[in-house]
Amino acid sequence: MSNHVEQKLAVLGLELPPAPAAVGFYVPVIRTGNLVITSGQLPFVGKQITFEGKLGESLHDQQGYDAARLCALNALAQIKACAGSLDAVRRVVRVEGYVHSAPGFRAQPHVLNGASELLVELFGEAGKHTRIAAGVAEMPLNAAVQLAVWVEVE
């Protein structure tokens, strides 16, 4: 019945995309115990990577931020597909962020805030999560960001 988190998304002018398919021989999301863990999500819109390239080279900080936000939306779509509803999420546990970084680019935390701020906007206190932030030299499909999200569900 309840659909609070998706209603909050709508207020932000966002909606859940279809959950993207995996780009290899794996599955996009899994549940183990009461943890739901996504695979690394890329900034897909449909079948298209929307932010290609490296931060600090062909992409500027705000594009990275937007790419991370989009990865988070895709992760939420995976979590809904696995848990049935985003309202089953008890808390967000962890965000793993890999940022496609040109030499000298060090604003990985700002880029990943694009994901983190969305999660806190949607889930409030329960959206506060731990995070790792790595600058990686090469990324599948030349994507700007890869993001995995861990949540606890009921």
* CA 107/CA 23 separation, integer angstroms: 27
Cα separations (Å) of 48 from 43, 56, 99, 146? 8, 22, 18, 14
In the complex with a second copy, the residue whose CB is nearer, 3 or 107, is 107
For 60-72, the three-class secondary structure string (H helix, E strand, C coil) is: CHHHHHHHHHHHH
- What is the residue whose two structure tokens read 């983190």? 116
In the complex with a second copy, the residue whose CB is nearer, 2 or 35, is 35
Least distance between a second copy and beta carbon 87 (Å) = 19
104, exposed or middle or buried, with CB in 10 Å at 0-12, 13-18, 19+?
Answer: exposed
Least distance between a second copy and beta carbon 1 (Å) = 27
Least distance between a second copy and beta carbon 117 (Å) = 5
In the complex with a second copy, the residue whose CB is nearer, 51 or 150, is 150
Q: Radius of gyration (Cα) for the chain, nearest Å?
A: 15
Binding site for a second copy (CB under 8 A): 22-30, 32-35, 37-40, 91, 93-96, 98-99, 101-110, 112-113, 116-117, 120, 128-142, 146, 148, 150, 152
In the complex with a second copy, the residue whose CB is nearer, 88 or 99, is 99
Least distance between a second copy and beta carbon 105 (Å) = 5
Cβ 148 vs Cβ 28: under 8 Å? no
In the complex with a second copy, the residue whose CB is nearer, 25 or 46, is 25
Least distance between a second copy and beta carbon 95 (Å) = 7
